[in-house]
Amino acid sequence: MNILIKSAQILDKRSTFHKTTKDILISNGIIVKISEAISTENVDKVIENVYVSQGWADSSVCFGEPGFEERETLENGMKTAEKSGFTHVLVNPLTNPVIDAKASVLYIKNQTKGFVATAHPIGALTEQSKGEALAELFDMKSGGAVAFGDYKKAIANNNLLKIALQYVQNFGGIVISFPNDSKIMGKGVVNEHISATKLGLKGIPALAEELCVTRDLAVLEYTGGKLHIPTISTAKSVELIREAKNKGLDVTCSVAIHNIHFTDEVLEGFDTNFKVLPPLRDKENVEALREALKDGTIDFVTSDHNPLDIELKFKEFDYASFGIIGLESAFGIVNQYVDLETAVELLTSARYRFGIKTEPISENIEADLTLFTPEGSYIFEKENILSTSKNSAFLGETLKGKVIGVIANNQFVIND
């Protein structure tokens, strides 16, 4: 299969072709030529006038299978990722059984072979994600796990976090520590703010997150190792992580696209699609997150894609489950808040953090590319949802830019 991308505007700051417009010829999955003008002779597929970057990576997705196939199967989840512009997704252990052993990691890897995108399992940090004893971390690493964390569950035991950070250094592992003190959170369901009081909903204080971030960074400074703090949501968390990076600690962090787009003011309609963890914060915190995207404190964005069936969402706000889908909306949201070069960096830098093979766009390398256009806008509607579950908070929102397709693993997907 020969694919020719005509007049490709290349965005890859590690490539000598960065910010240039070139023709790119791909033959049998390999970029064989990049030049000013390439003939269309003997070409099977021609794509014209698109932006091209390294394939995007999402550091936090849930697909349900095994155990929750009614929410999302691995097959449909992978297809959703591809059409959304992602060639790599890190799959959380929100499954039944929990991904806490090598066999479970291999199941995810084997079930997702043959797609354009590649799935990278995140192994549970603790057995059954119960927070009591470390899972089989080394075995899972040897099976293909790229990091270890209990999805949406903080590590309550300080010593367990210390031991985990020390242990994974033996094989270059990364610990993911979700920052939320469940005792301080209590029965909270939204941001602790005046809006929560007006709505009569129990609040989740910013302190619940910030105490965990402070603790995690203190333990990391003591132990060394690699730590990732996912989906931060407050200005204080940004400040703490910025200080830790200035000290030289090996820490990264991410933010979910809904936490940079919405404030807690949208909760007035009691729409449970806005019930997320961490909660949507007030304007001051959201603006701090947006600034942290621009200055590099936040390393990458994530959709934090979590499909949930209607039975879990169609309830009173207090009783509905936390979580929304976001793969389909990710580019159209982040593209609104930073310049295009920064948007691409935020969508690709998880590749480097989690050890996903990445080479600068050049000749004689395997093609692993996302094709897109940053111009134009559209209203996100129900027909734009590709997931099996429909729990999107972005319905009716204006998204900027469009994903054209992806090329990877000697295959391609081009959107209509």
Are β-strands 51-54 and 45-48 bridged in parallel, bridged antiparallel, or unpaired? unpaired
Q: Are residues 145 and 280 in the same domain?
A: yes
Paired strand residues for 378: 399
Q: Are residues 213 and 139 in the same domain?
A: yes
Length of the chain: 416
Total domains in the fold of the chain: 2
Give the closest residue to 63 by CA, choosing from 109, 106, 94. 94
C-alpha 3: how far from chain center = 28
Q: Are residues 21 and 131 in the same domain?
A: no
Q: Is residue 290 part of a domain?
A: yes
Using the Cα atoms of residue 201, residue 207, residue 208 and residue 210 in order, give the sign of their dihedral: positive
At 416 the pLDDT is 80
87, 105 contact by CB (below 8 A):
no
Q: Is residue 395 part of a domain?
A: no
CB contact set of 65 (below 8 Å; sequence gap of 6+): 72, 73, 74, 77, 95, 111
SS3 343: helix
Q: Are residues 322 and 370 in the same domain?
A: no
Q: Is residue 381 part of a domain?
A: no
Q: Are residues 88 and 228 in the same domain?
A: yes
At 405 the pLDDT is 98
C-alpha 366: how far from chain center = 23
Rounded average pLDDT over 241-258: 98
Q: What's the one-letter identity of residue 100?
A: D
Most distant CA atoms of the chain, gap in Å:
67
125, 153 contact by CB (below 8 A):
no
Low-confidence winner among 84-93, 194-203, 332-341 (lowest mean pLDDT):
194-203
- pLDDT digit string (tens) for 264-306? 999 999 999 999 999 999 999 999 999 999 999 999 999 999 9
Q: Is residue 86 part of a domain?
A: yes
Q: What's the one-letter identity of residue 44?
A: D
CB contact set of 327 (below 8 Å; sequence gap of 6+): 58, 61, 80, 81, 84, 86, 303, 305, 386, 387
Q: How many CB atoms lie within 10 A of CB 131?
A: 17
Active site residue 304: yes
Q: Is residue 144 part of a domain?
A: yes
Q: Are residues 189 and 256 in the same domain?
A: yes
Q: What is the mean pLDDT of the chain?
A: 97
Q: How many CB atoms lie within 10 A of CB 304?
A: 30
At 314 the pLDDT is 95
Q: Are residues 331 and 234 in the same domain?
A: yes
Paired strand residues for 253: 229
Q: Are residues 279 and 405 in the same domain?
A: no
- pLDDT digit string (tens) for 6-17? 999 999 999 999
- pLDDT digit string (tens) for 326-341? 999 999 999 999 999 9
161: tokens are 């976090």
Give the closest residue to 302 by CA, choosing from 364, 349, 347, 340. 347
Catalytic pick from 181, 264, 304, 368?
304
Q: Are residues 183 and 72 in the same domain?
A: yes
User: Which CATH number belongs to the domain containing residue 348 in this structure?
Assistant: 3.20.20.140
Class of residue 392 by CB neighbours under 10 A (exposed 0-12, middle 13-18, buried 19+): buried
Q: Are residues 14 and 89 in the same domain?
A: no
Enclosing domain of residue 35: 2-51+363-375+400-414
Q: Is residue 343 part of a domain?
A: yes
At 92 the pLDDT is 98
Q: Are residues 216 and 303 in the same domain?
A: yes
Q: Are residues 280 and 189 in the same domain?
A: yes
Q: What is the pTM of this model?
A: 0.97
220, pLDDT greater than 90: yes
pLDDT classification of 379: cutoffs 50, 70, 90: very high
Q: Is residue 153 part of a domain?
A: yes
- pLDDT digit string (tens) for 99-133? 999 999 999 999 999 999 999 999 999 999 999 99
User: Which CATH number belongs to the domain containing residue 404 in this structure?
Assistant: 2.30.40.10
**Starting from the edge strand earliest in sequence, which strands make up the sheet with 174-176, in order?**
56-61, 86-91, 118-123, 147-148, 174-176, 226-229, 251-256, 300-302
Q: Is residue 386 part of a domain?
A: no
